[in-house]
Amino acid sequence: MKKQYFFAYLFVRAARGLALLVILIGVGFCVLRYYQASIGADAVAYQRSPHLQQALDRLKAAFLATEQIIDSFNAGNQSKTPNVRAPRFPLVIDSDDDFARISAELSRLDHERQQLKESIVSRFETLVKSIEEKLHAYAAVLQSSPSPTPATTQNFISNATPTPSPMSREESLFSSQLASSDANERSANLKERKEFLKVLATRAENADNRVILGEAADQLERLAKLLPEKFEVSTAAQPDTSTASSKDPRAEHHGKVLLSERVARQLEQLRGGVRQMLLTSWTLDDTFEQVANLDSAERDKYRAAILAQKSVWLSAASRIVIGLLATGLVSLLIVVFADLVRTQLDTATSTGTVANAINALRGSVAHLSESEPTITAEEETPVEGGS
């Protein structure tokens, strides 16, 4: 019987060992997949950018240098420098929190950068705006008056134009990318606007207005010193006489627009031009823009790396779960089939035993049935002879 069901008995005896082997194979597969996923996640992980760190260091240095120059200028100009704080960026940038800190710091830095810019032109704009308000108010009076007197709309002169002491600076507010022709043109335009204010001052009838315009012209002279030094005199840097003549307050004042209104608009345009020439192309602006672009690019790279890592781990996790389920299922099937085979073997063994017993019983019964008639004949023979 055992020889007849050799492999079945072998399977039953080795079932537990096979189930354990399958479990070990499944666990090994899962460990291998985890190791491969770890390597894949490390391969696509975000790598810290040295360029971003260097750009942040340059931005910090540019901000401190700009603050120092503006503080020196405002001290000589009797202006107030806003309270600002040096930027503080994380030393290691490799997480969402680090990028969030950089974004918050850049937002604060941008606000303080605008405050520093406003501080150097605040005094000049205050002076010019005061004249604009007076001109607008006077124009309103003239429009409501039946007989305006145009002669009173002539503009103003300063009694004295103090010459500011030149500021000694090793560095400039403006970017090195600012071309010499552009710097010369800005200097020429500022000089032209200063002359325009002086012309207005010469025609001022009110002493207060003459003083205000004189101070405004003096402010332009001080602000012009913030521009880089002229490298050479070029035709682009020469004052435009046609522009100057168009801004000359001696222009005709007939028409619907009063002369005071036109001069007020010219002053408003002058303020805008001064802001454009003095508050653009700074080294701090270029560095800030570079850092903002790098931060945005690195943030996108970080998010892409995080998504790639999640994809790797999700793929590995799905395969590990499938491997564990398959391992458990195969092990369970081995054990179950082993029990079924054992049951069949036990049934076969029991059936064989019962069949042998039945066959033996049948053999003994047949033997008894064959021996009974012979004994009876032998017993009856003497009886007949005796009778």
Amino acid in position 85? R
In tens digits, the chain (387 residues) has pLDDT values of 456 778 888 888 888 899 999 999 999 999 999 999 999 999 999 999 999 999 999 999 999 999 999 999 988 888 888 898 989 999 899 899 999 999 999 999 999 999 999 999 998 988 888 888 888 888 888 777 654 444 444 433 333 333 333 344 346 788 888 888 888 888 888 888 989 888 888 887 788 888 888 888 888 888 888 888 754 433 333 334 333 333 443 333 444 557 888 888 888 899 899 988 989 889 999 999 999 999 999 999 999 999 999 999 999 999 999 999 999 999 999 999 888 888 888 787 777 777 777 777 777 767 666 665 554 444 554 544 443
Three-class SS state of 254: coil
Contacts (Cβ under 8 Å, ≥6 apart) of 27: 327
Cα–Cα separations (whole angstroms), residue 298 to 58, 108, 310, 357:
17, 20, 18, 87
Distance CA 74, CA 119 (A): 8
Q: How many residues does the chain have?
A: 387
Distances (CA, A) of 386 to 153, 377, 379, 383: 185, 15, 12, 5
Which of these, 43, 51, 56, 95, lies nearest to 302 by C-alpha position? 95
Type of residue numbered 263:
V
State whether residue 282 is helix, strand or coil.
Answer: strand
Residue (of 287, 261, 309, 249) closest to 94 by Cα position: 309
Q: CB-hemisphere CA count at 13 Å for 261? A: 11
Q: What's the rounded Cα separation, in Å, for the pair 9 and 26?
A: 26
**What is the spatial distance between Cα 266 and Cα 66, in angstroms, rounded to a whole number?**
31
How many Cα atoms sit within 13 Å of 387 on the Cβ side? 4
Q: What is the DSSP string of 36-78?
A: HHHHHHHHHSPPPPHHHHHHHHHHHHHHHHHHHHHHHHHHHTT
Element (H, E) at 203: strand 203-204
| Rounded distance between C-alpha atoms, residue 197 and residue 124, angstroms | 12
Q: Which two tokens stand for residue 281?
A: 């192309």
Query: Quick one: pLDDT at residue 110?
Result: 94
Q: In whole angstroms, what is the distance from residue 158 CA to residue 47 CA?
A: 62
Distance CA 62, CA 231 (A): 24
| Per-residue confidence (pLDDT) for residue 171, from 0 to 100 | 63
Let me know: does 309 contact 41? Beta carbons within 8 Å.
yes
Using DSSP, state whether 83 is helix, strand or coil. Answer: coil
Distance CA 48, CA 45 (A): 10
Which tokens sit at 243? 């522009």
- C-alpha 177/C-alpha 118 separation (Å) is 23
Distance of alpha carbon 79 from alpha carbon 123, whole angstroms: 7
Question: How far apart (Å, rounded) are the C-alpha atoms in residues 173 and 223?
Answer: 12
Q: What is the pTM of this model?
A: 0.68
Q: Within 13 Å, how many C-alpha atoms sit on residue 123's CB side?
A: 21
Give the number of C-alpha atoms closer than 13 A to the C-alpha of residue 180, restricted to the C-beta side: 7
Q: Quick one: which H or E segment has residue 378? A: helix 283-386
Alpha-carbon distance of 66 to 346, in angstroms, equals 95
